[in-house]
Each structure stands twice: as C-alpha cells, then as structure tokens.
C-alpha cells in the first residue's frame, strides 16, 4: 500500500491527490517542534536572511524586465537594455542562489529535528511495558512514526519557506501596486487572493471525509499486510493464502472506492481554483491593456503587471495541496507525539538504585498477581532459591509458570507481596539493572535477520570475538557453526527461520551465557523439541548451570529430575514442592503427571 496516498502536483501546478487531513488545523504540532528546532540557531538566522534576499530579488525581477521592455521600445541605443537584461539574469540567479542556500542551511535543521524526534520515539517505545507491546499493531505504529517524521520535513519546508514567504510577497506586491499604480490592481489582487484562499480552505474541508476514509483504508491494509506476512508460516500451514489475499483485497477495494470519490471532489477543487486564477489574470490584463491604450501605462508596465500576477498565482496554485498536506502533517506529527504521551505501566520509582547481585539468591514473599481484578493468576506464592541452586517450576497450562518469570523480570508489577534478589526488592531498583542481571532462554527463540555470530553477540554487544566463541562452545554450538558453508557469518533469516528449533535454542543459550548474569532462567526451553534436540539442549543447560542460580520453567518433567527443588503450580498456587524423588513418593499431582508423560512416551 505504500504510495497509494502519495502526493504530487501536475505540470501546471494544479493539485493532485495526497494524504490525510485531520478534522482541523492542529497548531499545537508546531509548538511541539520548537524545542527540536533551536539546536542550530545560527543556521536558522542565516536561512531567514537568505529567504528575505530571495523574496527581494523575486519582487525586483518584474521591474527590471519592465525597464528593459520600455528601453527596447523607446530607444535605439542598445547599451542600456543590454545592461538591464544582464542585471535581470544576475538578479534571477541571485533569487535561485538565495533559495538554494536557504534550503541547504535549513535542511540541516529539519534533518536533525527528524533524527532527534525519531530516535526519541523509538527509544520511548522500547521503554514501554510489555502490556503495550502485546496490544499494539506493528504496522500501524511503524506508519505513525514514518508519517510523523516525514510530516516534520513537509511542514518545515512548506510552512517556513512556501506559505509564509508567499504571503509576504503578496503583501509587498499589493503595496507596490497600490502606491505606484491604480488601486484597482491592488484591489484585484486582494480580492482574488482572498477568494482563492477561502475557496481552497472550504473545498479542502469538503474533501476531508473522503481523504480520511482513504487513509483509514490504507492504514488498515498496511497493518493487515504486515500482520499476514509476519505470520506467513501459519498462513501456509492452513492453506489460507487465498483467504488472506481476499481480506487484503477487501481493504484495497475500500481504498479504491474512497479514492474514486476523492477524485470527483478533487475535480471540483481544481476547477474552482483555475476559474479564480483565470478571472484575476484576465481582469488585471484587461485593466492594464486599457491603461496602455489610454497612455497611462507603458508596454513595460503591462509586462510588469502580467509578471506580478503570475508571480502571485504560481505559488498560490499549490495552496490547496499545501493546506491539506499541512493539516495532514500536523495530524501525523501529533499522532507521533501522542506515542510519547503513553506512560508505561511499570516505571522506576524516583531515586531507584542499581541492583547489586553478588550471590543470586531469589525470594518470592507472598506474591500475588492478576492481569485484571476478575482473574487472579498468582496466589500467595512463597519460595526461595539459594545461590547456584536449580529450581524447577512445573504445572499445567495456565497455572502461572510463565507469569512468575514475567514478574521476576518486572514486566508487570505485583498486586501484592515482594520479590527479593540478594535481599533487594526488585521494585526499589532500576529495571535496566534488574534485567541486566538475569539471562533468559525463552520457549520461542526469535532471532534477528543477521549472522549467527551477531545474534549470539547480542547477549553482550561489546563482547570480544573470543568471548563469543567461548559462549558458543559452552552451548555445544561450535561443531554446528563450523559445519556451515559461511560458518559464523551464516545468515539465520527473518526471526531465525533458517535454523531448526534445537539450533535456535542453543543460540539462545549461548546468547544468555555471553550476558554473564548471576541468574539464568530457562522458560520451557525444550518444550517444542524432539528427544535428540532436547538431549543436546539439556547437555548445554547442565554445562552452564553450575555458575548460575537457575530457574527452570518446564512442561516436560524429564528435564527437571535433577533440580534441587521442584515447585508444582496448580491454579496459581504452589500445590507441592520437593525433589523429584520426594514428589514421586508423595503420589500427588507431580507423580500423576510423571506417569502420564512416561506412558505417552
């Protein structure tokens, strides 16, 4: 869908289709940009001086042309007309030169503002809690950022160096016409400009509904396409390519209908603007011709009036397009800044200190948690993990196993109770230092679309090559990597799809080891693997467990038989706890699950 809402102008400057305007002009967007525009105050001043120079040269051009025409019409001496024509060329070049200098100087200001704001929004999105990311639509958010950043460029370029200078130039021309020529010329210019601006604003507002509908369909289809392509394996598993294409086509059909209506309203807008311009030019030319016929004006002044009128209406010809795009840019900028107004549900307390992990002792004290009041997930969870112990948490689906991991990492804040690491409440320390101290091997390892080496180095982006290879050997990955055609430079594909499940899990273990934490969490790291892959992963886990406090969340009980303590969760509570042997002897939930899994095996 990219480009469906593109903006451009036809050869004669008449407006063509563009993107969305909002309900009304949102001037607050300009205020939000001011702090980002003050980094280069000197450049802004020089750009404004160049703008003034360009406008003075622009207004002066028709007067030089007038004098040249009059000289050529009345004198046989060619020296003066040649000098005027040379001056005309110099002033025209100065006009272009000042304009280019202005754009070059101010371009740096705009680009830096775009960079600063884009970086701030990106950084802010990563600071938001997991609940926001679970509910967001990636395609829609990425479009908000893209449109917002591009909106800054458009708004600065057209607002500062098109709209404002155009009206300054109109004011200068009206003043000159009123002072030096008939007030009727100034009156024609004023009336036509007011009529043109008023009609453009009213007609653009009239068109707003269809453009908004078109943009809504574009955003919907963009989100739909991104979501479908990200989950293309699922689409193929269920043979739903035709279904996805049909749903996408429904969105495109809605966009097509909106665009068709938009074209009809665009015809009305362009026709009305052209009529006003033609009427103004014709009126001014008739009046000038009448004055020339009566001897009140020269041929040069006739040319001057024509040049001034054209000079006014060429930039005004884009007004409808610029007005609509400015509205859209302001709305897009505001939508991007709205992302910055989203506050994470989990925030560091004022004065939060760094977590200092020496031993890696973990304590859950009367921990209670619920996503909403109607559904309590964890109910009075109490347990301790001693330094370098391996504690396993097992239980059925929905028992709360993964929620324990999320609360330990403080993706969510507890409803009640506390979690301590080396006697420090995790709510009192910074989230950055907390997560830096814990490595996680997740159930579903998602890798970046880069080399296998870079994916492992992601555990510590500053790690040396030697340290990365050490982590590779710890995860029993060296032999596999060296067998690849491109070895450690092998590309893993989007989300690591070129690797098998077991290979991805060992990459995750290597990445987690490289982080060099005091606490290691394995979140059902073998649940989706076959027996051979599971054996390899268990060997890798056993190889690294002695150096860390290990918390293993597991569904397959065979992976936790050597745990120092096994916690059996049921309906958000610890129903049983003990070693593998003790739990089998108790003949409770654990024993029943053990026998069931072995029977299935």
Q: Give the pLDDT of residue 504.
A: 81
Taking CA atoms, 367 is separated from 25, 376, 380, 384, in Å, by 50, 11, 5, 12
- Residue in the block written with tokens 């507002």: 205
For residue 109, the surrounding DSSP H or E stretch is helix 79-127
What token pair was written down for 304? Answer: 């001057």
Backbone angles phi, psi at 387, to 5 degrees: -55, 130
Cα(352)–Cα(354) distance, rounded to whole angstroms? 7
Going from the C-alpha of 387 to that of each of 280, 377, 421, 440, 546, the distances in angstroms are: 86, 27, 10, 17, 10
Going by the DSSP 8-state scheme, the letter that residue 426 receives in this structure is: G
Both structure tokens of 438: 């814990």
Q: Are 367 and 407 spatial neighbours (Cβ–Cβ below 8 Å)?
A: yes
Residue 78 sits at the vertex; the CA angle it makes with 76 and 81, to the nearest 5 degrees, is 115
pLDDT score of 14: 36
Please say if the pLDDT value at position 64 is more than 50. yes
Residue 79 banded pLDDT, cuts 50, 70, 90: low
Number of Cβ within a 10 Å radius of residue 12: 9
Strand order in the sheet with 573-578: 438-441, 519-523, 549-554, 390-395, 565-570, 573-578
CB atoms within 10 A of CB 461: 8
pLDDT, position 16: 39
pLDDT of 404 reads: 87
Q: What is the CA radius of gyration of the chain?
A: 35
Exposure on the CB side of residue 27, measured as CA atoms within 13 A: 0
Name the strand (E) or helix (H) holding 186.
helix 183-230
pLDDT tens-digit map of 150-185: 777 777 777 666 677 777 777 877 887 887 787 888
pLDDT digits (tens, 9 = 90+) for 90-147: 777 877 787 778 777 777 777 777 778 777 877 777 777 666 666 655 555 666 777 7
What is the distance between the alpha carbons of residues 508 and 516, in angstroms, rounded to a whole number?
Answer: 13
For residue 161, the model assigns a pLDDT of 65
Question: How much is the pLDDT for 7?
Answer: 38
Residue 600 CA to residue 214 CA, distance in Å, equals 55
CB 521 within 8 Å of CB 439: yes
Mean pLDDT, residues 519-528 taken together: 74
% of the chain exceeding 70 in pLDDT: 82
Give residues with Cβ within 8 angstroms of 463, minimum separation 6.
457, 471, 514
pLDDT value at 6 more than 60: no
pLDDT in tens, 311-344: 777 777 666 667 767 777 777 777 777 777 777 7
Match domain 28-340 to its CATH number in 3.20.20.10, 3.20.10.10, 1.10.10.10, 1.20.1560.10: 1.20.1560.10
**CA diameter of the chain:** 122
The span from the first CA to the last CA of the chain, in angstroms, equals: 49
User: Which CATH number describes the domain made up of 346-437+517-601?
Assistant: 3.40.50.300
If you count them, how many residues does the chain have? 601
Cα separation, 299 vs 281, in Å, equals 17
Q: What's the pLDDT at 204?
A: 76
pLDDT beyond 60 at 505? yes
List CB contacts of 243: < 8 A, sequence separation 6 or more: none
Q: Give the residue among 584, 589, 594 at the shortest CA–CA distance from 569.
A: 589
Q: Where does residue 447 fall: left (phi above 0), alpha (psi -120 to 50 degrees), or beta otherwise?
A: beta
| Average pLDDT across the chain, whole number | 77
Q: Which helix (H) or strand (E) holds 40?
A: none
Using CB atoms within 10 A of its CB, is residue 531 exposed (0-12), middle (13-18) or buried (19+)? exposed
Q: Of 157, 154, 158, 211, nearest to 333 (Cα)?
A: 154
Q: Are 411 and 134 in contact (CB under 8 A)?
A: no
Q: What is the pLDDT at residue 541?
A: 66
Q: Are 471 and 510 in contact (CB under 8 A)?
A: yes
* Cα within 13 Å of Cα(156), Cβ side: 29
Distances (CA, A) of 505 to 275, 483, 502, 588: 69, 18, 5, 32
Categorize the per-residue pLDDT at 10 as very low, low, confident or very high, splitting at 50, 70 and 90. very low
Tokens of 168: 């300054």
Domain boundaries 446-515, corresponding CATH code: 3.40.50.300
The pLDDT value given to residue 347: 79
Q: Which residues pair with 441 in a beta bridge?
A: 522
Nearest in space to 54 (alpha carbons), one of 87, 97, 84, 18: 97
User: Could you tell me which residue, 477 or 565, shows the higher pLDDT?
Assistant: 565
- pLDDT reported for residue 569: 87
Q: Work out whether strand 519-523 and strand 549-554 pair parallel, antiparallel, or are unpaired.
A: parallel
Per-residue pLDDT, 133: 63
Written as six digits, the tokens of 37 are 């525009």
Break the chain into its structural domains and give their ranges. Answer: 28-340, 346-437+517-601, 446-515
Give 43: exposed, middle or buried? Use CB within 10 Å, 0-12, 13-18, 19+.
Answer: middle
Q: For residue range 346-386, what is the model confidence (pLDDT) as tens digits?
A: 777 888 898 888 888 899 998 888 877 777 888 888 988 88
The better pLDDT of the pair 259, 573 is held by 573
Q: Is the pLDDT of residue 2 over 60?
A: no
Q: Among candidates 312, 314, 286, 291, which has minimal Cα distance to 301? A: 291
Same fold, 346-437+517-601 and 446-515: yes
- Please give the DSSP secondary-structure letter assigned to residue 412: S
Of the candidates 8, 30, 11, the residue with the CA atom closest to the CA atom of residue 19 = 8
358-368 exposure pattern, b = at least 16 Cβ within 10 A, e = fewer: eebbbbbbebb
């Amino acid at each position: 869908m990219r480009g469906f809402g593109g903006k451009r102008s036809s050869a004669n400057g008449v407006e063509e289709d563009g993107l969305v305007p909002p309900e009304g002009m949102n001037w607050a967007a300009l205020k939000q940009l001011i702090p980002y525009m003050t980094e280069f105050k000197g450049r802004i001043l020089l750009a404004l001086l160049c703008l003034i120079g360009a406008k003075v040269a622009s207004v002066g051009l028709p007067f030089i042309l007038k004098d040249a025409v009059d000289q050529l019409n009345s004198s046989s001496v060619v020296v003066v007309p040649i000098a005027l024509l040379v001056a005309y060329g110099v002033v025209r070049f100065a006009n272009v030169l000042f304009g280019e200098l202005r754009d070059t100087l101010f371009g740096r200001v705009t680009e830096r503002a775009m960079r600063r704001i884009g970086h701030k929004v990106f950084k802010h999105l990563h600071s938001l809690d997991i609940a926001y990311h679970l509910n967001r639509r990636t395609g829609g958010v990425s479009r908000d950022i893209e449109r917002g950043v591009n909106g800054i460029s458009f708004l600065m370029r057209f607002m500062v160096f098109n709209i404002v200078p155009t009206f300054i130039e109109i004011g200068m021309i009206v003043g000159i016409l009123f002072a030096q020529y008939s007030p009727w010329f100034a009156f024609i210019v004023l009336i036509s400009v007011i009529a043109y601006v008023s009609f453009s604003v009213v007609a653009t507002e009239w068109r707003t509904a269809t453009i908004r509908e078109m943009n809504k369909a574009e955003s919907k289809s963009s989100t739909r396409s991104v979501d479908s392509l990200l989950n293309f394996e699922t689409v193929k598993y269920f043979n739903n390519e035709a279904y996805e294409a049909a749903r996408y086509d429904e969105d495109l059909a809605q966009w097509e209908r909106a665009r068709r209506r938009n074209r009809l309203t665009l015809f009305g807008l362009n026709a009305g603007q052209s009529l006003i311009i033609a009427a103004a030019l014709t009126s001014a030319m008739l009046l000038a011709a009448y004055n020339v016929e009566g001897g009140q004006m020269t041929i040069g002044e006739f040319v001057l009036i024509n040049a001034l009128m054209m000079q006014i209406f060429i930039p005004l010809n884009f007004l409808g397009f610029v007005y609509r795009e400015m509205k859209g840019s302001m709305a897009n900028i505001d939508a991007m800044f709205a992302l910055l107004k989203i506050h994470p549900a989990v925030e560091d307390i004022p004065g939060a200190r760094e977590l200092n992990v020496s031993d890696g002792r973990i304590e859950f004290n009367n921990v209670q948690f619920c996503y909403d009041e109607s559904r309590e997930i964890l109910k009075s969870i109490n347990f301790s993990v001693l330094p370098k112990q391996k504690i396993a948490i097992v239980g059925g689906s929905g028992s709360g196993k993964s929620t324990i991991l999320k609360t330990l990492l403080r993706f969510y804040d507890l409803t009640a109770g506390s979690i301590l690491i080396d006697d420090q409440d995790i709510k009192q320390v910074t989230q950055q230092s907390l997560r830096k101290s814990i490595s996680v091997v997740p159930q579903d390892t998602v890798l970046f679309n880069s080399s296998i080496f870079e994916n492992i180095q992601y555990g510590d982006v500053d790690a040396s090559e030697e340290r990365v290879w050490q982590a590779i050997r710890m995860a029993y990955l060296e032999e596999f990597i060296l067998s690849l055609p491109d070895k450690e430079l092998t590309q893993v594909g989007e989300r690591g799809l070129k690797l098998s499940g077991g290979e991805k899990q060992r990459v995750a273990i290597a990445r987690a080891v490289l982080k060099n934490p005091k606490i290691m969490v394995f979140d059902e790291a073998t649940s989706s693997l076959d027996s051979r892959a599971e054996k390899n992963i268990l060997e890798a886990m056993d190889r690294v467990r002695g150096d860390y406090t290990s918390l293993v969340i597991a569904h397959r009980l065979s992976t936790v038989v050597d745990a120092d303590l096994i916690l059996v969760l049921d309906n958000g509570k610890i129903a049983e706890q003990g070693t593998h042997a003790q739990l089998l002897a108790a003949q409770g939930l654990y024993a029943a699950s053990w026998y069931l899994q072995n029977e299935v095996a």
